Amino acid sequence: MNGFLRRMLGAALLDATVYEEVEADRGANAQAFAVVVLSGAALGVGGLANSGWQGIPLQAVAAIVVWLAWAAATYWVGTRLLPGPKTEASIGELMRTIGFSGAPGILRVFMLIPGFGLGVLVICTIWELVAMVVAVRQALDYTGTARAIAVCTIPLPLYVLPLLASILALGPWPL
């Protein structure tokens, strides 16, 4: 398995060593960007029945905007408001790890299956949020998960509200 696919699978499986690897690899910026775009596009594909093909690029762009806002907010909260004793991170490290935390979102393509749309959407979104906690914990060098949960909770509206808005902008979904 190539490195990119291995990293996406490891990130989806909440493997902390993969998040450490991505954090340290400045060359992984393009890979993190690709995960974000794929996850957003998967949401668009999952909503094809409702939005048609135009939903795919809309969701991909929305995912990029949310990723950038989320990374900036978690960077500020995690390094300025709630830093741990060992916290030392750059915005790039958070962008890479948070980007890879979107890997479970690629499974949103399965929203295409009639009757499973809402369940897939909810499961993938919760899975991504859990992955974001792992990503933040590793990028900010926290020794425990509670601080990472707090850091992810404070800017949570920057993730959830645009996600809901992008879904609602496409109209009622046949979930």
Q: Do 69 and 51 form a contact (C-beta atoms < 8 A)? A: no
Q: Do 162 and 62 form a contact (C-beta atoms < 8 A)? A: yes
Q: What is the pTM of this model?
A: 0.91
Reading the chain (175 residues) residue by residue, the pLDDT tens digits are 689 999 999 999 999 999 999 999 999 999 999 999 999 999 989 887 777 788 899 889 989 999 999 999 999 999 999 999 999 999 999 999 999 999 999 999 999 898 888 899 889 999 999 999 999 999 999 999 999 999 999 988 877 887 777 667 666 555 4
What gap in Å lies between CA 104 and CA 118, rounded to an integer?
Answer: 15
